[in-house]
Amino acid sequence: MANRGDDAARLSPKALAGALDALAPGRMSRPSAAGPTPSASPSLAQLAAQWAGVRGRLQQEVGDVEYRTWLRQMTLVGLDGDEVSIRVPTRFLRDWVREHYGDLLARLWQKENPTVRRIALRWGGRQAGLAESIVPTESASPESGSANADNGAGDLPAAQGGAAGSVPATVSAADERAADGGILDPRFTFESFVVGKPNEFAHACARQVAACPATKAFNPLFLYGGVGLGKTHLMHAIAWELRGGEGSAHAAAAVGRPIEIAYMSAERFMNRFISAIRSQRMIEFKEQLRRVDVLMVDDLQFLMGKDATQEEFFHTFNALVDAGKQIVVSADKSPSDLSGFEERVRTRLGSGIVANLHATTLELRISILGAKAARAGVDVPPRVIEYLAQKITSNIRELEGALNRLVAHANLFGRPITLDVTQELLHDILRAHERRVSIEEIQRKVAEHYRIRFNEMTSQRRARNIARPRQVAMYLAKQLTSRSLPDIGKRFGDRDHTTVMHAVGRVAALMETDAAFAEDVELLRRMLES
């Protein structure tokens, strides 16, 4: 497929073969004299055409801007067995591509060449050999039968070794895997979880389970809340603590051996259940799950309406609890609100501790952003952190994504993070969070801020302590609404449009000469926009 942003895609197969051969001599398989067979390695021209196809589809899926920013600098190194090697210029770019586009790259490569089983991402010059491997997820495997998205956390191992000269990630793939083959994210630990009033109870319950699993009062532990509030983070943190913390030693002492943990999404549970039925291996499936010491199932709401899977989950649940094993479950609703589940399942799920992760407060969002910026080692001004926390209130994932984009921009281009850069770089995210502000809301917020009565906004009083807040409200009404000047004047006690013009000009002039006043008005504007 042609790729406008890729020079290689415009070359003939012969020229592509020569270019790729010069780039990585000896790495690619040579075509046999008899020509390729279905199981043979592709020729240089075929491999080049496959790479062009991958890049073309990649650009189509992510868009031109995102492709040019993150993916255009990728170059093909070669194919060795079932592993494709791709090089990017820097370690940072390698980590970014792997984290954000690894699954997509694996999927597109398997469409072009089903024999590709892993992708080694290298960084540095032509002779550099530092790599991290990407392996296709279960959803890309021909045997899986269906997509298998495990909340984004279990789809990509941090490293699989693979290429010569590769270096392992901080946590190897073997260390990341739970007993069922699910992947634990090394970022999701108790140490990296920022605690605030909205999540302190859920955090305390998770800590208790991690320290002393299968305590009757905390079994099962049911975590629920909206998207991006930390449910998956806490579940991974529990698993990590049980694998290597004090809870691990306590649990191992209780059972006389290292404990077994099974972490999976509800979708993975269903896929494994269906696969066991198809392959007539239900007994093996039941035995595998019933022998674990801790079963963790994420996003249980996925099983709504899936009666057969619910039935199996219910029996697994009962068998483990009756045997003194720990159950940890998460969902987006409380057990009583899980419509589509049988009453006996909802009752069983609510029989232990039910902990809600509430929507984040401004203070918690500021704390989370500050902690993540510190871990990234990038200087993010407090004003920018507060601005993001005010503007993006939906969930922590989107907030973290915005911060990641700023950090990536600072690392790639060596530019400081400022409020202007933030607004320019995140305009698409910020625009999605914009909401319509009414003049009445502006009047009420300004009156509260300056501690005057709401009806003073429309009164005829001209005292300075009344007139100045009224002018500020008019200024903000002009800035934040699409109302005309006469319409704004009408909402402020039938004042003339020239009065509104004077107020807007006066506030703008004061903001240029009085920094404290300008900061006050800017704070009001951010509060109204959030």
Q: At what angle do helices 44-62 and 91-112 cross, to 10 degrees?
A: 110
pLDDT for 247 equals 61
Q: Note the pLDDT tens digit of each residue in 459-515.
A: 988 888 899 999 999 999 988 887 888 889 999 999 999 999 999 999 988 988 888
| The three-state (H, E, C) secondary structure of 202-267, written as one string | HHHHHHHHHHCCCCHHHCCEEEEECCCCCHHHHHHHHHHHHHHCHHHHHHHHHHCCCCCEEEEEHH
Peptide linkage before 220 cis (omega within 30 of 0) = yes
Say whether both 206 and 330 belong to one domain: yes
Structural domain containing residue 230: 200-357
Domain of 410: which CATH number? Answer: 1.10.8.60
Say whether both 401 and 450 belong to one domain: no
Whether 385 maps to a domain, the answer reads yes
Average pLDDT rounded to a whole number, residues 332-354: 87
Whether 421 maps to a domain, the answer reads yes
Whether 187 maps to a domain, the answer reads no
Q: pLDDT-based confidence at 245, cuts 50/70/90?
A: low
Whether 258 maps to a domain, the answer reads yes
Domain of 322: which CATH number? Answer: 3.40.50.300
Residue 347: pLDDT above 60? yes
Residue 26: pLDDT above 60? no
- Give percent above pLDDT 90 in the chain: 17
Say whether both 124 and 88 belong to one domain: yes
Residue 418: pLDDT above 60? yes
Tokens describing residue 23: 């780039």
Say whether both 417 and 472 belong to one domain: no
Say whether both 82 and 226 belong to one domain: no
Say whether both 458 and 353 belong to one domain: no
Average pLDDT rounded to a whole number, residues 168-179: 33
Say whether both 35 and 140 belong to one domain: yes
Domain of 506: which CATH number? Answer: 1.10.1750.10
pLDDT for 328 equals 95
Say whether both 344 and 373 belong to one domain: no
Alpha helices (H) in 245-351, listed in sequence order: 246-255, 266-278, 282-290, 307-322, 343-349
Say whether both 477 and 426 belong to one domain: no
Say whether both 397 and 497 belong to one domain: no
Whether 192 maps to a domain, the answer reads no
Mean per-residue pLDDT of the chain: 76
- Domain total of the chain: 4
Whether 83 maps to a domain, the answer reads yes
Average pLDDT rounded to a whole number, residues 74-99: 83
Say whether both 237 and 340 belong to one domain: yes
Least confident stretch, 7-21, 182-196, 221-235, 305-319? 7-21
**Rounded CA separation 2/10 (Å):** 7
Say whether both 101 and 207 belong to one domain: no
Whether 30 maps to a domain, the answer reads yes
